[in-house]
Chain A
Amino acid sequence: EVQLVESGGGLVKPGGSLRLSCAASGFTFSHYSFNWVRQAPGKGLEWVSSINSGNAYMYYVDSVRGRFTISRDNAKSSLDLQMDSLRADDTAVYYCARASTGGNYDPIDIWGQGTLVTVSS
């Protein structure tokens, strides 16, 4: 079964750091690009970051660039999001999401169940 399972969410104070992880199974991880997409409570979806299959291209939405870092370990079939200098408006459910191929311009075809990040003092 194709599956993405996120972990690492929780409560963190403003200015703090958190590292999210996504464990993939049921497919050849190294063949695909991946994304992080977030959803603030009661709000819509916001694309956050992506990384291509070759680990050569990483992209970020302006609001997180310089604070978040996406990375992948093809040997472990895992995707990470290092989040530093967290702010209250980073509070959201974060979804790990697979793109349909390994390129830079593909739809998301598989989603994880999400992990909640709450930034509050």
Chain B
Amino acid sequence: EIVMTQSPATLSVSPGERATLSCRASQSVSIKLAWYQQKPGQAPRLLIYGASTRATGVPARFSGSGSGTEFTLTISSLQSEDFAVYYCQQYSNWLRTFGQGTKVEIK
């Protein structure tokens, strides 16, 4: 099983500031890495796939980078609607696994 580890668990950011979220895989997943956003009471939403490709309709302030075992999700200028929990997921293996999530909260 590929273990996905996200850091930090909670990120306190002021609106308009940059947020940087990290995701590490226990072994290489190439670029088969996705990021999802989940707001309270809602289903997750795909933000990024292939480590760096934005999904349809995702604002340009969201960007993903990395390959192999180290990945980053950057939100360039946080808007009020961006405060949520973010999960990474690898899909390089049939046993696809999620990270434990990073909660982005208002500072």
C-beta contact mask, B79-104 vs A, less than 8 Å → 1, else 0? 00000000101011111111111000
CB nearest to B85 among chain A residues: A44
Is A11's beta carbon under 8 Å from chain B? no
Task: Please classify how large the interface on chain B is, using the bins under 10, 10 to 19, 20 to 34, 35 or more.
Answer: 20 to 34
CB nearest to A105 among chain B residues: B91
Question: Do residues A59 and B43 form an inter-chain contact, with CB atoms below 8 A?
Answer: no
Known interface pairs A100-B49, A105-B32, A109-B55; A45-B44 also in contact (CB < 8 Å): yes
Interface centre among A44, A104, A113 (most CB of B within 10 A): A44
CB-CB under 8 A from A106, the residues of chain B are: 91
Instruction: Choose one: A108, A113, A114; the contact of B34 (CB below 8 Å).
Output: A108
Is A32's beta carbon under 8 Å from chain B? no
Tell me the count of chain A residues lying within 8 A, CB to CB, of chain B.
23
Q: Which residues of B come within 8 Å of A, CB atoms?
A: 32, 34, 36, 38, 43-46, 49-50, 55, 87, 89, 91-101
Known interface pairs A45-B36, A45-B38; 4 further A-B residue pairs with C-beta atoms within 8 A, sorted by A's residue number: A35-B96, A45-B101, A47-B95, A111-B45
Q: Which residues of A come within 8 Å of B, CB atoms?
A: 35, 37, 44-47, 50, 57, 59, 61, 95, 100, 104-114
